[in-house]
Amino acid sequence: MNAVTFAQAVDSVAIDADEILDDLLYPAGHAVVDGGAEGRPSGPARRRVLEWDDPVVAAKAGAGLAGLDYMRALELGEIPPPPMAITLNMRPVEVEHGRAVFEGHPGEEHYNPIGVVHGGYAATLLDSAIGCAVHTTLPAGVAYTTLTLETKFVRAITRDTGPVRAEAWVAHRGRRQATAEGRLTAVETGKLLAHATGTCMILGEA
């Protein structure tokens, strides 16, 4: 084999950086097209259509309510859900003073590149339940925001997990800060999927 033939042989098997990265992120069933991954046909493409109400209007409607009244209005559908809740297919199903329960329905649209529901789905459900548990303790005109969220992931969530339930309760309610804890479980099996602790800052309370 002369030098020219050898160089041609090397070029024929050379792998560029995009192909290496694609193999790492998408180990099977994909091919690199213009630097990105394109799935090979595996059946009809999935499609999901979302509709929501103006979130600013809904937020203004709840601003004049005590936290527990606002949460109950969301639970009963008297105030439309925020777009995020529609996107993640989750909603409050139980609320009382210092406690909130959310139910979510994870699906393929929440998958990450490694073939399971993204951990952010579990974290968001827990953050929502924790924040709303704190919100139920607030009088009208007082707001809150999340300061910290520490989440521990126990089991993977897939499209076969079924509905999941995030339950949170306030562990401490101070004048400036509140701490709450939450657990995420599979509704059908009761197995623990994740748990979290969060801290919220109270805004506007005298």
Q: Where are the domains of the chain?
A: 3-39, 55-203
> Is the Cβ–Cβ distance between 35 and 43 less than 8 Å?
no
Q: Is the pLDDT of residue 158 over 80?
A: yes
Nearest to 130, CA basis, from 90, 166, 104, 83:
166
pLDDT single digits (tens) 4-60: 454 454 454 444 555 444 444 444 444 434 444 455 556 788 889 999 999 999 999
Mean pLDDT, residues 78-96 taken together? 96
Residue 117 tokens read as 């529901």
CATH class of the 55-203 domain in this structure: alpha beta
Sign of CA dihedral 24, 26, 32, 37: negative
Percent of the chain clearing pLDDT 90 (strictly above): 73
Contact 145, 156 (CB under 8 A): no
Cα–Cα nearest to 170, from 67, 81, 63 = 67
pLDDT for 204: 87
User: Measured between alpha carbons, how far is 201 from 177 in angstroms, rounded to an integer?
Assistant: 5
Inter-residue contact 117 to 110 (CB < 8 Å):
yes
The predicted model scores a pTM of: 0.78
Instruction: Name 178's bridge partners.
Output: 173, 200
Q: What is the pLDDT of residues 116-126, one digit of tens each?
A: 999 999 999 99
Contact 152, 195 (CB under 8 A): yes
Q: Find all residues with CB under 8 Å of 197, minimum gap 6, and list them.
A: 130, 148, 149, 150, 171, 179, 180, 181, 182
Residue 137 corresponds to which tokens in the numbers above? 């303790």
